């Protein structure tokens, strides 16, 4: 009887996993079980099914996902049904890369880091993108607007970009937050019910990193300052060693489901990191720069973790600086992206990642062109004083300034920091912004929900 009950429980777990063809987390499995069990018990049974080769486990720890073994085998060995075809149509060369990395890891030849893959790239002589592909990306990725200061276009669509890029980049890491959960977290600070704190932290880290890139558009580049600080923001509160955030790696790392073994000598990691940055900085085409960093930075694995996240946001550096359409990885299939990176790691093959990149650029450009049109032309005055507006309104909220005090504080602040010719218009805009504040628009002033609630109580009491 005990064996029968155990088999019934195991079959129920398999049925729950079957509901998620792309893989289910332990919590997702638990959600579908008619007879709930303690999470530890479920994890024990999942391990048992994996050892019996009835399930396949992808990832480790909080990111572990489980698939049916027969589904995994069939997917790798046979054509998928028409409804399951990948969204991205692949060329024969990209398909060969995908098929190669779909073989079981133990059947793939172990490889180490090949410095020649980096050294063989000559800026503006070697290209991952063909001339036609670069021209196409320039055509679809260049907004139809007048020439503007660096970062202007990204600032105009920042509210949408924060949510899109934070969600999609986190999703590619296995984060289970929905788009609506992500919007709520970024705009209101509310974590998703049942969501893991580590997932919320990952998304908020993306928000901080994106704001860093956009706000410092004149200063960012392929240099130590930008990339190390980008890693520090994305890795904040996520690493076992807090000091590793923003620091190059001096411990060995391994790549899940891969036969690739990254460099282990800290001195070589440092040398290759400097060479990688110098090479990227010398590339003149912004799209080639973006793809180069997406390929070479994860291949080097210069940090303890969070390398792919850094590469995805760093790919936006040349796009933000040139006022090109940012790359938010909207709709990019997670499995295809993972296979593309495995192709880089194990084969030094860029065909698959290149096609993912081009497709992602096209999708992002179409999305933000529509967003930009819906926004209309921005007010040049507001654009020029964007930082000052955010600083002053944020100060007024955090100080819980009431109605009676607000006008005097705005006037005093403006007298000190705003040119006399612009002061009257600036004061009018700030007063209008304060009067129109509500729970759906205060996040742009970088204040917490608790601070906004306290300010509103003070405001409404006078």
b/e for 112-144, b at 16 or more Cβ within 10 A?
A: ebeeeebeebebeeebbbeeebbebbeebbebe
* pLDDT, mean of residues 16-24: 79
**Region 251-267: what's the mean pLDDT?**
91
The predicted-structure confidence for 179-202, as pLDDT tens digits, reads as follows 888 988 988 888 877 778 899 999
- Domain-by-domain residue ranges, the chain? 2-75, 92-375, 380-460
Please name the residue that has the structure tokens 């040049």. 380
Tell me which CATH code domain 92-375 carries.
Answer: 1.10.3290.10
Contact 163, 206 (CB under 8 A): no
> CB-based contacts of 243: which residues, under 8 Å, 6+ apart?
none
pLDDT-based confidence at 70, cuts 50/70/90?
low
Q: Which of the pair, 320 or 7, is modelled with greater confidence?
A: 320
Q: Model confidence at 377, in pLDDT bands (50, 70, 90)? A: low
Residues in CB range of 121: below 8 A, 6 or more apart? 279, 292, 296
* Residue 84: per-residue pLDDT: 41
Higher local confidence (pLDDT), 129 or 81: 129
Structure tokens at 457: 């109580």
**Local confidence band at 11 (pLDDT 50, 70, 90 cut-offs):** confident
Query: What pLDDT does 161 receive?
Result: 86
pLDDT tens column, 421-439: 888 889 888 888 888 888 7
Cα–Cα dist 50/143, whole Å: 50
| CATH code assigned to 2-75 | 1.10.10.10
pLDDT score of 148:
60
CA nearest to 62, candidates 204, 261, 202: 202
């Amino acid at each position: 009887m005990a064996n029968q009950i155990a088999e019934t429980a195991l079959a129920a777990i398999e049925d729950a996993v079957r509901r998620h063809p792309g893989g289910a987390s332990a919590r997702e499995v638990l959600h579908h079980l008619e007879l709930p069990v303690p999470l530890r018990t479920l994890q024990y049974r999942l391990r048992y099914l994996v050892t019996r080769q009835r399930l396949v486990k992808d990832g480790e720890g909080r990111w572990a996902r489980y698939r049916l073994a027969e589904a995994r085998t069939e997917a790798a060995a046979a054509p998928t049904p028409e409804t399951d075809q990948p969204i991205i149509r692949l060329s024969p060369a990209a398909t060969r890369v995908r098929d190669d990395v779909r073989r079981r890891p133990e059947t793939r030849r172990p490889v180490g880091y090949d410095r020649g893959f980096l050294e063989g790239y000559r800026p503006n002589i070697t290209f991952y993108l063909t001339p036609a592909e670069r021209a196409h990306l320039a055509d679809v990725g260049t907004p139809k607007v007048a020439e503007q200061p660096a970062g202007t276009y990204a600032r105009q669509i920042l509210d949408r970009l924060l949510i899109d890029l934070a969600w999609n980049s986190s999703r590619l890491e296995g984060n289970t937050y929905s788009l609506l959960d992500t919007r709520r977290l970024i705009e209101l600070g509310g974590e998703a019910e049942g969501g893991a704190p580590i997932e919320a932290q990952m998304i908020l880290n993306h928000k901080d990193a994106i704001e860093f890139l956009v706000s410092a558009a004149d200063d960012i580049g392929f240099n130590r300052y930008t990339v190390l600080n980008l890693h520090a923001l994305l890795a904040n509160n996520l690493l076992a060693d807090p000091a590793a955030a923003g620091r190059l790696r001096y411990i060995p790392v391994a790549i899940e489901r891969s036969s690739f073994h990254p460099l282990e000598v800290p001195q070589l990691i440092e040398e290759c990191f400097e060479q990688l940055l110098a090479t990227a900085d010398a590339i003149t085409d912004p799209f080639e720069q973006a793809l180069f960093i997406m390929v070479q930075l994860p291949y080097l694995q210069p940090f303890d973790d969070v390398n792919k996240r850094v590469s995805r946001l760093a790919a936006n550096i040349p796009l933000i600086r040139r006022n090109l359409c940012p790359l938010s990885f909207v709709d990019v299939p997670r499995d295809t992206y993972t296979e593309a990176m495995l192709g880089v790691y194990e084969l030094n093959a860029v065909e698959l990642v290149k096609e993912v990149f081009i497709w992602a650029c096209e999708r992002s450009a179409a999305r933000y062109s529509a967003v930009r049109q819906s926004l209309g032309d921005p007010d040049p005055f507001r654009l020029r004083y964007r930082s000052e507006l955010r600083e002053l309104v944020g100060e007024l909220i955090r100080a819980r300034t009431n109605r009676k005090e607000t006008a005097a504080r705005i006037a005093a602040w403006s007298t000190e920091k705003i040119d006399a010719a612009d002061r009257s218009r600036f004061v009018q805009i700030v007063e209008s912004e304060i009067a129109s504040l509500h729970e759906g628009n205060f996040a742009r002033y970088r204040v917490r929900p608790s601070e906004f609630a306290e300010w509103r109580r003070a405001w409404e009491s006078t």
